[in-house]
Amino acid sequence: MSRHAVRNLPKTARLNGIEISYEDSGGTGQLVVMVMGTGSPGRVWKANQQPALVRAGYRVVTFDNRGIAPTSECADGFTLDDMVADTAALIEHVGGGPAVVVGTSLGARITQELALARPDVVKAAVMIATYGRTTPLQEAISVGERALYDNKITLPKEYEAAITAHLNLSPHTLADDRSARDWLDIIGYSPQTVTPGVRAQFELHNAEPNRLDAYRAISTPALVIGFADDRTLPVHLAREVADAIPGAKYEQVEKAGHFGYLEQPAAVNKLLLDYLASVT
């Protein structure tokens, strides 16, 4: 096995009172730490964004948030502040900071809060498909997700795949029958498993406070990326975050839903690489 392959094996560190599983691409380039959204492991970044950043010379660390095994599931519950502290502790553990921190969805919310609470560990922040407040629709979806788990209700896999595609992909993608079938197959073959840890993550979406005014104190350079067809977190929520953070840059990806980083990877990667080049 090559030295490069060994360096990329998952590692575990005890940080902030829990075990955190992470992968480090290694190298001497600018450190980029990537934070995934609700219910998803850090390896999702490896489909598109992590390889592009590594090829460009960046040192990339991905990790599984608390709630996502093999990181501690913490099924008894935790707070967003706990997840922010986890990310800060990981940056300090791997060294090479301050880091460029890239997050999507819940991971973007963590990134925003990290830039506010610990600017010493954040060189620049990139928030993808983000939000600074919850909406009645988001709250209703969150209530439903928790109720399904608590009542031990399992949706038929075909229906679950269809709902997941509808909520997270662009209508432009789903309008093409072949593309729609491909995505339904992908989602069906790799469904999200709701574990006790994921259920604890769902609890975080229960009427989260409006943090837009607080974000006016963020001094870290910031990029917000919105997806034009995002049904899960409509694009106006991302714009609100960009408007709240002084000097933040806003970019929008067309024909992309909530999974836009998977749906339109070339566009997302270009935005990331151009922005990182401007701040590192």
Q: What pairs with residue 104 in β-bridges? A: 128
Rounded to whole angstroms, the Cα distance separating 259 from 165 reads 9
- Catalytic (active site) residue 93: no
**Of 24, 64, 82, 230, which one is the catalytic site residue?**
230
What the block records as the tokens of 104 is 């999507």
Could you give the dihedral angle defined by the CA atoms of residues 156, 40, 13 and 78, in that order, rounded to the nearest 10 degrees? -80
What's the start-to-end Cα distance of the chain, in Å? Answer: 32
- Catalytic (active site) residue 21: no
CB 123 within 8 A of CB 30: yes
Rounded to whole angstroms, the Cα distance separating 71 from 99 reads 21
**Of 40, 72, 105, 170, which one is the catalytic site residue?**
105
Residue 107 one-letter amino acid: G
Type and span of the H or E element at 187: helix 177-189
Closest CA to 273 of 251, 258, 254: 251
- Catalytic (active site) residue 230: yes
> Which sequence positions are flagged as catalytic?
105, 230, 258
